[in-house]
Amino acid sequence: MRDIATQGIFVADSLFDNLPTSAVICHNSTGVLPISPEPEWVRWGLVAEGQRLWTNYFGTSFTALLMCLMSGFNIARFGEVLYHNGYAKDAETARVRYSATAFAVADWLRFPLDDVNGRSRQTINKVRAMHTFARRRSRRLFQPEEGVALSQYDMAEVLLAFSGICLQAMKEDFNTHISGAELEPMVHMWRLIGYHLGIQDRFNVCASVERMNSCLQEFNTFCEQRAATARPYTNKLRSMALEGFGTFTGIGSVLLGSMTFDLNYKTDVLQNKSLGERPKIRGLTRASSAGLKRASSVASLVLSSKIGGDVLKQVIYSASDIRNDDRPKFTRYQKSLVLLSEGLDYYVWSPPSSVPFLTMAGFCGIFVGTMLFRHVL
């Protein structure tokens, strides 16, 4: 990771950086953007297997990624760019923008990655263009000696979050054991996505499982120092993300905050008073209460279970399809109704999964309800 930091911090994306701004912001129109040639190291069978495995661990990996994001706001080079690009404007904006990221990642797991004109690859190229535009907008954020925004180093670090750090959280916080044989395709898939997002081979932390693990080890060693680079906007980014997701999903920002902080990544920044304004989440101080802790453990368990993960996957897929739909725009209420009906359609009317889902939902409802009644209210 150190070699990536010293050299990568000054390197951006040579293929996209010379494009006129008009091409970069028209990222919806096909044919305008260049495409990197397929790398000679790619093994398409391994990539498809990686997609299948990540999809299999959908609930656990997306919950772990949310934890990584909350923790990642600590990193000044990342948080500064997000903040400057409007991610902490308000809760609704935060929800819309992080959901868009989730939809894009879901596309990458779902649609073939070897089809240049397919939805996966189109989305990857669109994101590469978005990053290029964000880099241009962030030109004045760093001093010359601090390198460029969204440099190869920053991209490598976030790629590590999507792969190694996520896998680590899945193992440590959700007890998800991934075998050595599964790791190779899962890492290879991210290697290819990183490549098409503009990460050069010498900076690609997913070049192999060994490379990813050694970068992860180094990342962990410096994790606390990274947390020390957190700035006041770290709290703001975090509050808006929790409020946006917590309100929209109905989980509530307090429970969501408790879920993401009571696990491995703890309350590091929330307890750092030198950062000034703390997240304005009603009752966050109660996040340490025993009842809420237990409720958050149950919620994490549900999300990381196969059935919980399937529900989450279905919701994200449906929302992503609605977003990609060319028909006239749905209103928010129509969207909620469509999601609800699609969820019911999928779970209630598809016989293999309806019985366990309804049983599990019933038990969880009774359990969470009793606990909330006894400990929180």
Give contact residues for ligand HEM (rule: CB under 6 A). 78, 81-82, 85, 97, 100-101, 104, 127, 130-131, 133-134, 150, 154-155, 158-159, 162, 194, 197
What tokens appear for 57 in the block? 């661990």
Q: Which is nearer to ligand HEM, 234 or 258 (CB)?
A: 234
Using alpha carbons, select from 244, 258, 248 the residue that is nearest to residue 97.
Answer: 244
Residue the block writes with tokens 């819309």: 96
The 8-class DSSP code of residue 150 comes to T
Using alpha carbons, select from 200, 150, 170 the residue that is nearest to residue 58.
Answer: 170
Q: Which is nearer to ligand HEM, 142 or 367 (CB)?
A: 142
Q: Give dist(CA 97, CA 66) in Å, integer.
A: 13
CB 353 within 8 A of CB 307: yes
CB of 157 to ligand HEM, least distance (A): 7
CB of 194 to ligand HEM, least distance (A): 5
CB of 170 to ligand HEM, least distance (A): 17
CB of 137 to ligand HEM, least distance (A): 8
Q: Which is nearer to ligand HEM, 85 or 297 (CB)?
A: 85
Q: Which is nearer to ligand HEM, 129 or 255 (CB)?
A: 129
H/E element holding 80?
helix 76-84
What tokens appear for 294 in the block? 């237990």
CB of 342 to ligand HEM, least distance (A): 21
Give the CA count within 13 Å in the CB-facing half-sphere of 186.
Answer: 23
User: Cβ-count burial of 342 within 10 angstroms (0-12 exposed, 13-18 middle, 19+ buried)?
Assistant: middle
Q: Which is nearer to ligand HEM, 23 or 130 (CB)?
A: 130
Q: Which is nearer to ligand HEM, 93 or 176 (CB)?
A: 93
Using alpha carbons, select from 1, 341, 328, 266 the residue that is nearest to residue 155.
Answer: 1
Q: Which is nearer to ligand HEM, 91 or 307 (CB)?
A: 91
Beta strands in the chain (DSSP E): none
CB of 103 to ligand HEM, least distance (A): 7
CB of 94 to ligand HEM, least distance (A): 12
CB 190 within 8 A of CB 139: no
